[in-house]
Chains A and B, each alone.
Chain A
Amino acid sequence: MTKIDSKIPEGPIAEKWTRYKEHQKLVNPANKRKIDIIVVGTGLAGGAAAASLGEMGFNVKVFCIQDSPRRAHSIAAQGGINAAKNYPNDGDTIYRLFYDTVKGGDYRGRESNTYRLAEVSNNIIDQCVAQGVPFAREYSGYLANRSFGGALVSRTFYARGQTGQQLLLGAYGALSKEIKRGSVKLYTRREMLDLVVMKDGRARGIVVRNLFTGELERYSAHAVLLATGGYGNVYFLSTNAMTSNGSAAWRAYKRGAYFANPCYVQIHPTCIPVHGEYQSKLTLMSESLRNDGRIWVPKKKEDVEKIRKKEIRPRDIPEEDRDYYLERRYPAFGNLAPRDVSSRAAKERCDAGYGVGPTGLAVFLDLKDAIARLGKDVIKARYGNLIDMYERIVDDNAYETPMMIYPATHYCMGGLWVNYELQSNIPGLFVGGEANFSDHGANRLGASAIMQGLADGYFVLPYTMQNYLADQIGVGPIPTDSSEFDNTVKDVQARIDKLMAVQGKEPVDYFHKKLGHIMWEHVGMARNKAGLEEGIKLIQEVRKEFWSNVRVPGTPKGINIELEKALRVADFLELGELMARDALHREESAGGHFREEYQTPDGEAMRNDKDFMYVAAWEYPGDDKDPILNKEKLEYEAIEVKTRNYKTA
């Protein structure tokens, strides 16, 4: 316990952030020019932070894995972004947004961070409007809102079904402005393969692979910010982009950064179901559809059979034979129950044999009633792009027949441990956005990921990083030829050489798919002790097989996509095991982590606050030893800890 210092400022919760800003250290403009900052990742958190830090006068080097910063996976966020503006006058406040987020996270997040998130949420909307983000508007010309899961107010701002795209392009614009001005230098098609930590324990640089030349490049700075997203692709199939990976975070872990709550993964309830072994990714259908779509499965098993055999159509099943199971189980929130609850409810129905579709692993999301109530044109205006996308992928018309959906891996609440300043336990290593663990507890509410990314990037990190950098002004430029840099490059080179030398028979994806199956089966929506123990064994076996039978063709020079994938999968094969270990040790159900042994008689998650109200911050002790568990006790002062309830308001 002594090792963990969360650095939460003193004072009442609503004053903590103000007090922090009032007392933090600053760097004068002349000195800012002497300070270098590395930002890895150009999504909402990284892009916004790099732009803001550049504006302030720091020298920023920003890295992205794609060909342009505009392609980071934040771009795929669909439904919206929360803020406590209370424009609809429906009773929203900063406290209520904070409360909903903490409750939604099943009381496993850090209260002070979540409050700050809610506090700056309104600034984000102001900032984005000033940048020219074309949010949806009412005929009055004022901003429109809609509802999202886990809330009883409408606080979600949106730009059609492309909110993440528009917010990211806003941040990309801000970043581009700073690149032009010369305060930010952009490095594209670079993948971070290691973190450089100096003898004094500070993070001072990164080693990246230039994905075009294959060269290993060294970059130094006075502080490093990782904004590299989540590790959901450990499941192989997820809603993440193909290059989304956990390697930057995992390499930081292996250099001493704590990895917090890796078992908290969000399985999103509304994705297009899996349809074949060759499938490369899963596509999300925005949660916003649950505003108007009703989720159901047939009540009678014979109807299920007939639908599977295509003897009847879903529309032929009369109302009284439909089980709107979310409305039945959670009358107060209904179809807008939070994601973890909705996903488990879908799994419960499918496991009980009521799932539809060719695999039996799907439920209906039906827009019929909304179309009858509002007309097709209104539904088309709201969700047209999603309905079109659904048709392109599954060749079905959701205006005529209900969509089929099923849960899929979407978001990682777990991530690198950070304190209130979003600094990891390695001094000088900051972590923002999905890559850190702090704000969402064990489950994230819809429309809160992009809120957190931009909160971290625009409004938190520019302050907290400056506080750290204030005593770095006399350090001078950091050379990249130190022994620490040399050794880190050597380690990376050795890893690449080892992979190239295996010359086995199977391509990387073969192992990735195998790992994905194990993770989904044993560390997925429902977990249990025996399954997790078995999962750990299986992961170790695949890892062994990988290192003796993977085939990486070509050479490390130039573009080598198989080598890129192999490096990522090698890390996933280790990270997956830590997720399973974390899930095994957490003998309770909380949010996205559902242990079958710990549930109420009616199948709801059962927390164990007495023994598990803490953040599990795992420490890497070396390859041959078990990871060390450090605990950050969670204390709730501004909020009463209760059993989560979505049945009544």
Chain B
Amino acid sequence: MDLKLKIWRQASPTDKGQFVDYDVLDISPDTSFLEMIDILNDKLVEKGDDPVAFDHDCREGICGMCSMFINGHPHGPEAATTTCQLHMRKFKDGETIVIEPWRAKPFPVIKDLIVDRSAFDLIIQEAGYISVSTGGTPDANAVPIKRENAELAMDAAACIGCGACVAACKNASAMLFVSAKVSQFALLPQGKVEAKKRVKEMVAKMDELGFGNCTNTYACEAECPKEISITNIARMNRQFIGAKLG
């Protein structure tokens, strides 16, 4: 298949940036989206041009590194799919595809399609864990955990930290990301000890870093490649109010 690409090119964080048009020809529908970009890049290198910079690593939908905003959707039009798992058979021959970086103030563009997502690390560093040290822990089966809770915790823990929720949100809110971590631990007995402190500190850090508020548009849930549910946000809000009340 032949495609027209409109790709955001930006040389540096301070550069203004612009869309540049490229044609890619004779692409197999079985090619993945990133392989299609690889093919374009090989052509650019052969011409001595600067290849398109983009983040990617595992290419199996789990590392959370890939982050393209494709035709108006983070990770493209296919539901529950990261960019690296998107395949060209989902597009039409001759189609124009617009590719941008994540657009959100807390995720500044570094080059082309690469953004800086270290704000997510900072939120986790604030309190996104159970403060247990190595060693001296009780037997793993000492505390039974209701299967239903373990499953809900796993649903939340499946977040890959890609930032699609922030990119999808008109307010650049990180509520889905933060609430997934808060929920995972709130649902487990091990996480309860620090639950109040955790939710207060993570929310405060999220606000400090410039992420916006949640106005319940549900765009984050719709675009999340791991289908993290917005019920996590409701759970976090309950936790947060509970923590504030003491």
Q: A interface vs B, CB < 8 Å? A: 48, 51-52, 55, 66-71, 73, 75-76, 85, 87, 123, 125-132, 134-143, 159-160, 162, 165-166, 169, 172-174, 176-177, 179-180, 186, 188, 212, 239, 241-243, 275-276, 278-281, 283-284, 388-389, 392-395, 458-459, 462, 505-507, 509-510, 551, 553-554, 558-559, 561-562
Question: Would you give 28 A-B contacts (Cβ < 8 Å), ordered by A?
Answer: A67-B55, A68-B117, A71-B65, A75-B58, A127-B135, A130-B190, A131-B130, A134-B188, A136-B150, A162-B62, A166-B157, A174-B132, A177-B129, A177-B131, A241-B59, A276-B28, A276-B30, A278-B38, A280-B32, A389-B60, A393-B85, A395-B89, A462-B134, A507-B45, A507-B46, A551-B48, A559-B53, A559-B114
Contact of A553 among B48, B58, B87 (CB under 8 A): B48
Contact of B62 among A123, A165, A276 (CB under 8 A): A165
- Chain A residues contacting B246 (CB-CB under 8 Å) are none
What 0/1 readout, one digit per residue, does chain B (28-45) give for beta carbons within 8 Å of chain A? 101110110011011011
- In Å, the complex CA distance between A253 and B46 comes to 33
B148 to chain A, nearest CB (A): 9
Contact of B65 among A67, A129, A280 (CB under 8 A): A67
> Is B130 a contact of A66 with CB atoms below 8 Å?
no
A335 to chain B, nearest CB (A): 23
B76 to chain A, nearest CB (A): 12
What 0/1 readout, one digit per residue, does chain B (69-87) give for beta carbons within 8 Å of chain A? 0000000001011000111
> Is B110 a contact of A212 with CB atoms below 8 Å?
yes
A130 to chain B, nearest CB (A): 4
- Chain B residues contacting A188 (CB-CB under 8 Å) are 118, 121
> Is A55 a contact of B133 with CB atoms below 8 Å?
yes
B227 to chain A, nearest CB (A): 10
With A68-B118, A68-B120, A177-B131 given, can you name 16 additional A-B contacts, CB distance below 8 Å? A71-B57, A71-B64, A131-B130, A134-B153, A136-B154, A137-B144, A143-B140, A176-B124, A241-B63, A242-B57, A278-B28, A281-B60, A283-B60, A509-B38, A510-B42, A561-B51
B136 to chain A, nearest CB (A): 9
- Chain B residues contacting A241 (CB-CB under 8 Å) are 57-59, 63
- In Å, the complex CA distance between A241 and B66 comes to 12
A53 to chain B, nearest CB (A): 9
Instruction: Check: B101 CB closer than 8 A to any chain A CB.
Output: no
Instruction: Check: B97 CB closer than 8 A to any chain A CB.
Output: no
What 0/1 readout, one digit per residue, does chain B (151-163) give for beta carbons within 8 Å of chain A? 1011001101100
B33 to chain A, nearest CB (A): 11
- In Å, the complex CA distance between A243 and B154 comes to 28
- Chain B residues contacting A275 (CB-CB under 8 Å) are 30
B118 to chain A, nearest CB (A): 7
- Chain B residues contacting A507 (CB-CB under 8 Å) are 41-42, 45-46
In the complex, which residue of chain A has the Cβ closest to the Cβ of B185?
A132
- In Å, the complex CA distance between A69 and B46 comes to 33
Contact of B130 among A85, A132, A162, A179 (CB under 8 A): A132
A599 to chain B, nearest CB (A): 34
Name the prevailing secondary structure of the B interface residues.
Answer: loop
Known contacts A129-B190, A130-B138, A559-B53; A75 and B130 CB within 8 A of each other: no
Contact of A176 among B57, B125, B141 (CB under 8 A): B125
Contact of B39 among A87, A278, A561 (CB under 8 A): A278
In the complex, which residue of chain B has the Cβ closest to the Cβ of A272?
B60
> Is A553 a contact of B51 with CB atoms below 8 Å?
yes
Contact of B150 among A135, A281, A506, A510 (CB under 8 A): A135
- In Å, the complex CA distance between A239 and B153 comes to 28
- In Å, the complex CA distance between A233 and B31 comes to 20
Which of B31, B55, B121 counts the most A-chain CB atoms under 10 A from its CB? B121
- In Å, the complex CA distance between A281 and B63 comes to 14
A229 to chain B, nearest CB (A): 12
- Chain A residues contacting B35 (CB-CB under 8 Å) are 278-280
Contact of B158 among A69, A76, A135, A162 (CB under 8 A): A162
Instruction: Check: B191 CB closer than 8 A to any chain A CB.
Output: yes
- In Å, the complex CA distance between A343 and B145 comes to 38
Contact of A173 among B116, B129, B134 (CB under 8 A): B129
Which of A51, A76, A142, A173 counts the most B-chain CB atoms under 10 A from its CB? A173
- In Å, the complex CA distance between A139 and B153 comes to 15
- Chain B residues contacting A67 (CB-CB under 8 Å) are 55, 65, 116-118
Known contacts A134-B184, A278-B38, A392-B85; A180 and B126 CB within 8 A of each other: yes
Contact of B147 among A125, A138, A509 (CB under 8 A): A138
- Chain B residues contacting A160 (CB-CB under 8 Å) are 154, 158
Nearest 6 interchain pairs by C-beta: A141-B144, A173-B129, A130-B137, A134-B154, A134-B153, A129-B140
- In Å, the complex CA distance between A166 and B184 comes to 11
- Chain B residues contacting A394 (CB-CB under 8 Å) are 30
> Is A276 a contact of B31 with CB atoms below 8 Å?
yes
- In Å, the complex CA distance between A68 and B58 comes to 13
- In Å, the complex CA distance between A73 and B141 comes to 28
- In Å, the complex CA distance between A169 and B87 comes to 28
- Chain A residues contacting B135 (CB-CB under 8 Å) are 123, 127, 458-459
In the complex, which residue of chain B has the Cβ closest to the Cβ of A170?
B129
Known contacts A85-B140, A127-B134, A507-B46; A134 and B53 CB within 8 A of each other: no
- In Å, the complex CA distance between A506 and B158 comes to 40
Contact of A562 among B45, B62, B141 (CB under 8 A): B45
Instruction: Check: B111 CB closer than 8 A to any chain A CB.
Output: yes
Instruction: Check: B50 CB closer than 8 A to any chain A CB.
Output: yes
In the complex, which residue of chain B has the Cβ closest to the Cβ of A505?
B46
- Chain A residues contacting B53 (CB-CB under 8 Å) are 559, 561
Instruction: Check: B208 CB closer than 8 A to any chain A CB.
Output: no
Which of B42, B130, B140 counts the most A-chain CB atoms under 10 A from its CB? B140
B216 to chain A, nearest CB (A): 27
> Is A558 a contact of B129 with CB atoms below 8 Å?
no
- In Å, the complex CA distance between A174 and B137 comes to 14
- In Å, the complex CA distance between A283 and B61 comes to 10
Instruction: Check: B128 CB closer than 8 A to any chain A CB.
Output: yes
Contact of A392 among B81, B121, B124 (CB under 8 A): B81
> Is A562 a contact of B51 with CB atoms below 8 Å?
yes
